[in-house]
Structure 1
Amino acid sequence: MTPNAAAEHPLLERDAELRALQAGIATALAGRGGALLVEGAAGIGKTRLLDVAAARATERGMRVLTARAGPLERDYAFGLVRMLLEPALPRSDPDRRTRLLDGAARWAAPVLDGAGAGAPTNTAATLHGLYWLVSALTEERPLLLVADDLHWADVASLRALVYLLRRAAELPLLLVLATRPAEPGAGADLLQELAADPLTGALHPGPLSHAATQRLVRAVLGEPEPAFTEACHEVAAGNPLLLGALLRSLHTTGVTPVESATDAVRERAPAIVAMFVLPRLRHLPAPAAAIARALAVLGSGAALRHVAAVARLDPDRAAAAVDRLTAAELLAADPPLRFAHPLLAQAVLEHIPAGERHAAHRCAARELASDAAPAEAVAAHLLLTEPLRDDWVVARLRDAARVALRKGAPQAAVTYLERALGEPPSPQVRAEVLFELGSTQTRLGPTQGLARLAEAHELTTDPDARARIALRLGRGLETAWELPRALEVLQQAVLEADTASGVDPDVRLLLEAEFIGLARSRPASRTAALDRLRQLTPQARPDSVAGCMLLATAAVETLQVEGRADEAVAQARQALTAITRLSSGSFTTGVLYLAGPVLAAAGELDAALRGADAAVADARERVARIELGAALSWRAEMSRRCGALLDAEADARLAQDMAREFAVPYPHRLLLGFLLSALVERGELETAERELLELEVDRNHVHLLAGMGRLRLAQGRPAEALEQLLAAGRRLARRGWTHPGLVPWETDAALACHRLGRLKQARELADAALVRARHYAAPVATGIALRTAGLVHGLLDALWEAVDVLEGTAARLEHAHTLVELGAALRRAGHRVDSREPLRTGLDLAHRCGATVLADQATEELLASGARPRRPLRTGAEALSPSERRVARLAAEGRSNREIAQALFVTTKTVEVHLSACYRKLGIASRGELPAALDRT
């Protein structure tokens, strides 16, 4: 029997694995997604199992997409994913391609196109787009994705597979993946995540038994004697590939399967595959050996012209050599050009001398580049060469880094740029590479890249380039919370830009805006910063990012001046309206951080909420998770102030979910400060305390201190509440924020003092808050201060005035609180009948706001007044969970299920489930009834 007999033999002892594959395919066809991870040593038969899975899925009508990773692809960002998905979007059918890449799936286009043009894409957007592309493919028919040799896959592709698997439960999708166990590398943690996912089933094909070994020996060499079989089993350790290589080697040398030949078996034990490959190469003509070495360097799927060039052969001789290698069973018989097994390629590659390997990779890189191959394919070879101070190499690596950033793979870009820096580049190029590397590293973490940026700044002499580097370095230092150093860098850059010519005016203005924004919050530099702000504000126009930032900053400072609230509001409105039209990226949220509180403090709550809505929509459109989380947290606070507590909690919870899943580093303290206030109003004190205990950063943030103060008041711990609230007041004073509408800490502190029996201090705080609110003509702050003064002084007139003031604002929750407090005060004063109307109105408002604690208080007061209120049932919109509330709101806006899923980063099936629950709880039957049902709260 010929050596082919072993390869052609059916799978042995893999019944359990085949049943698992069959079950996985059936589950996917039933609409439930999952994964099977085939893990085993090289040669154990993983690829054969994947081939069977592909064949059986095809027979059942599934679309099958396959890919195989290789050593060269480890730094090719999303290389494996591209190999998997690109065949499903043929350019020959542009209409279908456009349809599949519609909506959020468009963010997958840079991965599939592999082009370097365009702005960098954030990783979250790319992952989101790839999921929705796969989702669109599964809508056409059930899908099987097969990926072999995952241990060699690039990190970006592994991250995409993890992201996809987390959302696969509701898709007709099966992932069948194969990897070697315990392979070291950057993707090891992601492979573990894949293996640990609840949707993943593990397959561990084991070594062949003695009986299976005997069967294969018989197939290749004839009936063996027991000792001979035992020797073969021992040497190959039950590994099918090694056993096949051993048997073919024995067959080639004419060994018969008898006991006396066991020494010949054991002689081949070391490096069985190499012993199979290398002698064959030595017996083949020199061109065949050269082609084998060239293909080992280039990797599977290489074009014959490139292999021929690296082997230094003309195309005809190269083609003849390929035929010889195929006949020798070293290369696969069917295209693409590849070795029959990766271990064969590995054996050849390991026996190429280092110098020859270096020269081959350089040759491969130049051949690919001259053929307009993707930049990352060129860079894959350059990463394996020795540094030679070659600017051509540096340029190609920089090209690859730009492509990686375009696809949303900053880690791959860092790999390319670090290698470029090690080439090293010529002195005139070095600063540029340092800047690109440092800028890219800042995408990976708040403290990364700063040293590279600082070195680039030191080496650069061109004024415009220095200004740009200083701007990036200053922002990076701010993000890393190295504020004194950031201030020093920005201040020096501003001074240089003042005296140098050739600095882009937009860059100059951005430097000014960044410097002022940081310097005004530092006592030592605040005066100088405000002087520059006054000089620049007349020039600030809402047609640039810098102009919007300056307007928003000016709005905050203008608000602190009595009698200029209208001017501050106009500046804030201008900045917020314009920034979302500028494709400004993270600056949308930065402007919201400044302008939103100005509008809210001035009583323009509806405008503040619209600004937050625009920032959320902008971040969603760009799938910018950091900015979206921040925008959601600010919208949560605006919603709370407007009295939409359910919406506030829904936004805050979504921001929290995103922070946990994607490690988004936006300020947790800010978000929790907003969330605590909403939870207190909802009566969720235990939940609020648990959230606070889980906070892993310090609590020294003004909004968090204010939120903690309210929580401690609600918990009956007024001394602790007072301590937190006074700390918040001190932080605001150091910042120069005196407007009472920004963070109304004084009124809460007055209530804490009142609870402690410190009546004098309580009245002083309340009176001071009222005086300031009237001076600033801040309606909401005035209403809150009047209510507080009425409570601590026992003045009914102040409470009546507070009701009148707040009735004309959008602060429904504060209005409700004031009505209930007025009704309670009237009831305590003996005006039981008069108390009922404000209490009933307050109860209705509290219920609409979702303010559970306040509604219960109003109900108790009504009962004490002799009225018989109907207790509102906890049904309708109030019964919706935060997740259901989010879905219902978007559906009420007219969005489709798919659009809602894309906006909330969930699956379409999840949206369907939530909507069904919403209809049931709201007592409605259709989507069209949602707006009215939600507005009944």
Structure 2
Amino acid sequence: MSSLTPTLETIPLALMTLYYADRTEQVDAWCTTLLEAARERNIPTWDALLSSLRAANLVRLGRLLEAEKDSELALSRMSSQGWGLSIGMPLASSVFALTAMGRYDEARARLSRPVPEAVFETLFGQHYLYARGCFHLATGRLQAALGDFLACGKALNSWGVGDTTLIPWRTAVAEARLRLGEQDQAVTYLREELARHKGCPRVHGNALRLLASTMEPRRRLRALQEAVDELQDSGDNLLLAHALGDLGRVYHLLGQSNRARVIVRRAYRMAKKCHAEPLAQNLLPDAERAADGRSCTAGHEASEQAHDVLSEAELRVAALAAEGHTNREIARRLFITVSTVEQHMTRILRKLNLSRRDELPQGLNSMGGSAARAVSGARG
């Protein structure tokens, strides 16, 4: 699949197979390579199809701004007649990304674009229904959202498609029902989703996140910790930001305010990176943003001190701990044992004269490289 020599149908089908298998990194790499070839040869049809596929994949990675740009590019490269029934896919990616970014007027304009009625008899149409449901959910039209999600599920079931890793409509139905106050019905959908998709961290982790909201605080904490672990493995930074925000709130509810602030700030940074403004604003109220601004100078000085006294290995651990990662998460990311992490943390706190890890300065991820670069350095 290194060139555009196969038939027009072959490459999109292969990429869609990878996409539905959650092989997001492979899809991104192939789309990027093939798009370069399409543009070199000035083949707008290929440009449109590959941009649409990449946009759908970028949505799953939480790269919303890029997803919207690729969707817009795909729609501009081919007429509605040229797209035919497959127009549902780029429109779905565009509507979902614009909605998650809080650009509701633009999402509404996308939804006003006419689509063939027959599109709803295709898988492309179900992606469109799901995205439209997400728009309705975000803008408070809960019954409309529920109707779209249920219609999507009905179509997929009628085709014998029980695998909702394709489109997680059951989780979406549950979220709508939770917001409508129909908790028992929501739990039924979530438990079915969890039973079906134990091997898919993206779907399973998000369903577990929502199910956690129905539990008492202690059980909710354990469920959200598990959901965060799964979503970190999924590559979906938008869902991970949601889960971290929920986890921070339950820590606050349990009286662990410092731990809560660390985790919520991490969720906030992730939401901002995704350009998910509604989520970011919900995570960090005005008062806390002002407090962050006042502490910026002091935090930078503390970061410089840490950079001076900690070893490279300790800095890598400290940077991830400051972002709210647990010892187990740090061990997995840095390819070391939990015991080694614990030893590093003991030395870090002693050298910085701190009593708790949530006192670690937040500027560590900008001193000598980010935590992500630290992980890269640890690997090799």
TM-score normalized by the length of structure 2: 0.69
Greater helix proportion: 2
1:712 has 2:131 as partner: no
Q: CA 1:692–1:612 in 2, change beyond 3 Å: closer, same or farther?
A: same
1:834 has 2:259 as partner: yes
1:665 has 2:89 as partner: no
Task: Give the superposition deviation at 1:705.
Answer: 0.7
Q: Which residue of 1 aligns with 2:291?
A: 868
Letter in 2 for 1:726: L
Give the Cα separation in 1 of the matches to 2:163 and 2:140: 28
Q: What does 1:494-893 correspond to in 2, within 5 Å?
A: 579-581=1-3, 583-592=5-14, 594-600=16-22, 604-660=23-79, 664-666=82-84, 667-698=86-117, 700=120, 701-774=125-198, 777-793=199-215, 795-860=220-285, 863=287, 868-870=291-293
Task: Give the superposition deviation at 1:714.
Answer: 0.0
CA offset digits 1:218-272 (Å, max 9, x no partner): xxxxxxxxxxxxxxxxxxxxxxxxxxxxxxxxxxxxxxxxxxxxxxxxxxxxxxx
Q: CA 1:623–1:846 in 2, change beyond 3 Å: closer, same or farther?
A: same
Contact 1:649–1:675 under 8 Å retained in 2: yes
Letter in 2 for 1:706: Y
Contact 1:732–1:738 under 8 Å retained in 2: yes
SS in 2 for 1:868: helix
Task: Give the superposition deviation at 1:586.
Answer: 1.0
Task: Give the superposition deviation at 1:706.
Answer: 0.5
Letter in 2 for 1:845: M
Task: Give the superposition deviation at 1:760.
Answer: 0.6
Name whichever of 585-594 and 683-692 sits farther off.
585-594
Task: Give the superposition deviation at 1:762.
Answer: 0.7
Letter in 2 for 1:843: Y
Give the Cα separation in 1 of the matches to 2:160 and 2:12: 19
Q: Which residue of 1 aligns with 2:341?
A: none
Letter in 1 for 2:151: A
Letter in 2 for 1:664: G
Q: CA 1:863–1:739 in 2, change beyond 3 Å: closer, same or farther?
A: farther
Letter in 2 for 1:665: W
SS in 1 for 2:266: helix
Task: Give the superposition deviation at 1:639.
Answer: 1.0
Contact 2:133–2:144 under 8 Å retained in 1: yes
Task: Give the superposition deviation at 1:737.
Answer: 2.5
Task: Give the superposition deviation at 1:736.
Answer: 2.8
Contact 2:174–2:186 under 8 Å retained in 1: yes
CA offset digits 1:635-685 (Å, max 9, x no partner): 01111211211111110111122235x953252222111111101111011
Q: CA 1:867–1:834 in 2, change beyond 3 Å: closer, same or farther?
A: farther
Contact 1:580–1:618 under 8 Å retained in 2: no
Q: CA 1:732–1:612 in 2, change beyond 3 Å: closer, same or farther?
A: farther
Q: CA 1:620–1:664 in 2, change beyond 3 Å: closer, same or farther?
A: farther
Give the Cα separation in 1 of the matches to 2:27 and 2:21: 5
Letter in 2 for 1:868: A
Give the Cα separation in 1 of the matches to 2:269 and 2:233: 17
Task: Give the superposition deviation at 1:686.
Answer: 1.4
Unmatched tracts of structure 2, length 5 or more: 295-368, 374-380
Give the Cα separation in 1 of the matches to 2:12 and 2:63: 24
Letter in 1 for 2:109: R
Give the Cα separation in 1 of the matches to 2:34 and 2:90: 16
Give the Cα separation in 1 of the matches to 2:287 and 2:189: 33
Unmatched tracts of structure 1, length 5 or more: 1-578, 872-931
SS in 2 for 1:623: coil
Task: Give the superposition deviation at 1:819.
Answer: 0.6
Q: CA 1:605–1:704 in 2, change beyond 3 Å: closer, same or farther?
A: same
Give the Cα separation in 2 of the matches to 1:741 and 1:692: 24
Q: CA 1:593–1:605 in 2, change beyond 3 Å: closer, same or farther?
A: closer
Task: Give the superposition deviation at 1:609.
Answer: 1.6
Q: CA 1:678–1:582 in 2, change beyond 3 Å: closer, same or farther?
A: closer
CA offset digits 1:515-563 (Å, max 9, x no partner): xxxxxxxxxxxxxxxxxxxxxxxxxxxxxxxxxxxxxxxxxxxxxxxxx
Contact 1:762–1:792 under 8 Å retained in 2: no
Name whichever of 713-722 and 829-838 sits farther off.
829-838
Q: Which residue of 1 aligns with 2:365?
A: none
Q: CA 1:648–1:870 in 2, change beyond 3 Å: closer, same or farther?
A: farther
Task: Give the superposition deviation at 1:766.
Answer: 1.2
TM-score normalized by the length of structure 1: 0.29
Give the Cα separation in 2 of the matches to 1:653 and 1:582: 23
CA offset digits 1:100-128 (Å, max 9, x no partner): xxxxxxxxxxxxxxxxxxxxxxxxxxxxx
Bigger Cα Rg: 1
Task: Give the superposition deviation at 1:787.
Answer: 0.9
Task: Give the superposition deviation at 1:588.
Answer: 4.4
CA offset digits 1:903-929 (Å, max 9, x no partner): xxxxxxxxxxxxxxxxxxxxxxxxxxx
Q: Which residue of 1 aligns with 2:308?
A: none
Query: How many aligned positions are there?
Result: 288
Letter in 1 for 2:251: L
Contact 2:28–2:57 under 8 Å retained in 1: yes
Task: Give the superposition deviation at 1:716.
Answer: 0.7
Q: CA 1:793–1:731 in 2, change beyond 3 Å: closer, same or farther?
A: farther
Q: CA 1:793–1:768 in 2, change beyond 3 Å: closer, same or farther?
A: farther
Task: Give the superposition deviation at 1:838.
Answer: 1.3
Q: CA 1:680–1:825 in 2, change beyond 3 Å: closer, same or farther?
A: farther
Q: CA 1:792–1:843 in 2, change beyond 3 Å: closer, same or farther?
A: same
Q: Which residue of 1 aligns with 2:326?
A: none
Contact 1:672–1:704 under 8 Å retained in 2: yes
Q: CA 1:716–1:722 in 2, change beyond 3 Å: closer, same or farther?
A: same
Give the Cα separation in 2 of the matches to 1:651 and 1:848: 17
CA offset digits 1:747-803 (Å, max 9, x no partner): 1111100111111111111111111111xx112222111111112345222111111
Q: Which residue of 1 aligns with 2:329?
A: none
Contact 2:228–2:244 under 8 Å retained in 1: yes
Contact 1:813–1:849 under 8 Å retained in 2: yes
Give the Cα separation in 2 of the matches to 1:780 and 1:622: 36
Give the Cα separation in 1 of the matches to 2:73 and 2:134: 23
Task: Give the superposition deviation at 1:830.
Answer: 4.1
Give the Cα separation in 1 of the matches to 2:92 and 2:182: 26
Give the Cα separation in 2 of the matches to 1:744 and 1:870: 39
Higher RCO (C-alpha 8 Å, min separation 6)? 2
CA offset digits 1:444-470 (Å, max 9, x no partner): xxxxxxxxxxxxxxxxxxxxxxxxxxx
Q: Which residue of 2 aligns with 1:421?
A: none
Give the Cα separation in 1 of the matches to 2:75 and 2:163: 29
Give the Cα separation in 2 of the matches to 1:620 and 1:591: 20
Task: Give the superposition deviation at 1:854.
Answer: 1.5
Give the Cα separation in 2 of the matches to 1:762 and 1:748: 9
